[in-house]
Amino acid sequence: MKFFVDSADLEQIGELNDIGLVDGVTTNPSIIAKSGRDFKEVIAEICKLVAGPVSAEVTAVEADAMIKEGKELRKIADNVCVKLPLTMDGLKACSSLSKAGIPTNVTLCFSPNQALLAAKCGASFISPFIGRLDDITLDGLQLIEDIRLIYDNYGFETEILAASIRSVNHVKECALVGADVMTAPPNVIKNLANHPLTDKGLAAFLKDWEKTGQSIL
């Protein structure tokens, strides 16, 4: 499974990238707005920092304008992936940009049928939102499983990018049902390393080692 960081925080992205835990980055207008910085400048800096795809979202709602914005965003860097909403206009833009060789991430997916349409239009990634479905008492993980089955049935190359990840359990479940990618905030990715028995075991090892009075260096 590929790990994307859902953030525009360069410091946190860089920290995880140095460890080797960043295969890409996802952003959206809300995330960029929180930084208080120029949209294109932030995207450009992230693209220089990481080698993988960096999703930059259009703000237009009509297809022709989305296409123009997508082409403009692509000029920022070769690893920009244009993020589009799952609307009919978004799908039209996805089809056009994909045919032009520009990678796309179709976002705000909440049903298998929507995911099927995105794949038919050549999307590079489809972003089903797990947490938001859970919020309204629907099964977000079941959506991932359904999309996986449909894509495998027909050999679609669109990658399933599990989004709206809220917990480490979400990450595990997405991996179990075969999501190609998951995107999560930095704190969720870091929490994957945490376990009380790991902490307890390490504390015991260090205590025993201290008793020996030895030093490796």
Residue type, 6: D
81 with 103: CB under 8 angstroms? yes
DSSP string across 69-134: HHHHHHTT-TTEEEEEESSHHHHHHHHHHHHTT--EEEEEE-SHHHHHHHHHTT-SEEEEBHHHHH
Axis-axis angle for helices 140-154, 112-120 (nearest 10): 40
DSSP string across 163-197: BS--SHHHHHHHHHHT-SEEEE-HHHHHHTT--HH
Catalytic residue among 2, 40, 68, 83: 83
Q: What is the residue whose two structure tokens read 């360069």?
A: 10
- 200 belongs to the catalytic site: no
Paired strand residues for 109: 128
DSSP state of 35: H
Residue positions annotated with a catalytic role: 83
